[in-house]
Amino acid sequence: MLTSVAVVTGASQGIGRATAIRLARDFSAIALVARTRDKLEETAEAVEAAGAEALVIDADLTGRTAAQAVVTHTLAAFDRIDALVNIAGAVPQIDLFEMTDEQWQDGLELKLHGARRLTLAAWPALRAARGSVVLISGNSAVFPKAPYAAVGTINAAIVALAKAFADRGITDGVQVNSVLPGPVMIGRRRSYLEHWALLQGMTVDQAVSYFPKEPRIARYGEPEEIAELMAFLVSPAARWMTGSALRMDGGEVKSV
C-alpha cells in the first residue's frame, strides 16, 4: 500500500502540471486529471522522473458522473487519497454584457461544480486519511470587473465554497484552503501576449515587460511558484491552517 496519494486536476498544463510535478517530491503517487490525455502523459513522465508513481485519468469534470469516476479509479489503483488539489477550470474572459448563458454555465460547471463534485466524492477517503484539499481561485474574486465578470464571480464562489468545506472539515478532520494567484505566465496568457505584441509591433519580451505595470507588480508569476504554495498547504507544516484564502500575487492586491 502506498503511503500518500494526491489527486491534481488541470494537471495537463500550467499551474496544475507544475503542482503535480512538485508534489511528486512529497507524495508516493499522483493521480493526474485533465481532458487532454497526451499532455497528461507528458506530465506523468515528469512526475515519475521526480520520484512518484503517476496515474493518468483523462476526464471532463463538467460531466455529472466524472468526479465519482475519478475517485473510483484512484482508489482502485492506490486504495487511498491524502490530498486533493482542484486546479481545473479556465473561465472565458468576456465582457459582462456579451457573455451568453451557455458561456456562464460552462465556466460554472468546470471550475465551481467540478471542484465541488470532486471534493464531495473524495471526502470519505480524505476523512479516512485526515487529508487536505486546496481549491484554486484568483485575485478577481476580490476585485471583479466588467470584462472579467464570470471569472470574478466564479472565483468568489470558490473561496466561499472552500470555507464551507473547511467548516465541515473541522468535524471530519479534513483541512481545506483556497489559493488566489495573481497574474501567472501560463499558456493562455503567453498566447494573448504574443497576439497583442504582434498587433502593437512589439516583441513578446517587450509585451511581457509592459503589462505588469498596470497592476503595479514587478513581473508575472511562474506556475512553479504557485506550486510551492500548494505543496506547503497539503504538508504537515500547514496542518493548523484551514478555511484560509491565500493570495500569491506579487502585490497586485493593495487592500489590507
Count of other CB atoms within 10 angstroms of residue 200? 11
Same domain, 164 and 194: no
Is pLDDT larger for residue 151 or for residue 190?
151
CA pair distance 84, 118, nearest whole angstrom: 9
Interacting residues of 94 by C-beta distance below 8 A, sequence separation 6+: 103, 147, 149, 150
Same domain, 20 and 94: yes
Q: Is residue 256 part of a domain?
A: no
Amino acid at 14: G
Same domain, 140 and 151: yes
CA pair distance 50, 239, nearest whole angstrom: 24
- What is the total count of domains within the chain? 2
- pLDDT above 50: residue 1: no
- Whole-number pLDDT of residue 250: 81
Among 149, 96, 95, 114, smallest CA distance to 33 is for 114
CA pair distance 163, 50, nearest whole angstrom: 32
Percent of the chain predicted with pLDDT > 70: 89
Q: Which three cell numbers stand for residue 204?
A: 513578446
Same domain, 197 and 117: no
Q: pLDDT tens-digit profile of 52-103? A: 999 999 999 999 999 999 999 999 999 999 999 999 987 777 788 888 888 8
Same domain, 125 and 198: no
- Whole-number pLDDT of residue 218: 74
Same domain, 117 and 235: yes
Mean pLDDT, rounded, for 23-37? 97
Structural domain for 112, as ranges: 5-184+223-248
- Whole-number pLDDT of residue 119: 98
Amino acid at 109: E
CA pair distance 112, 248, nearest whole angstrom: 20
C-alpha dihedral sign at 25, 30, 33, 34: positive
- pLDDT above 80: residue 245: yes
Please report, for the domain that includes residue 232, its CATH number. Answer: 3.40.50.720
Mean pLDDT, rounded, for 116-142? 96
Question: Which of 1-10, 47-56, 78-87, 170-179 bottoms out in mean pLDDT, i.e. has the lowest?
Answer: 1-10
Mean pLDDT, rounded, for 175-185? 91
Same domain, 215 and 228: no
Same domain, 169 and 195: no
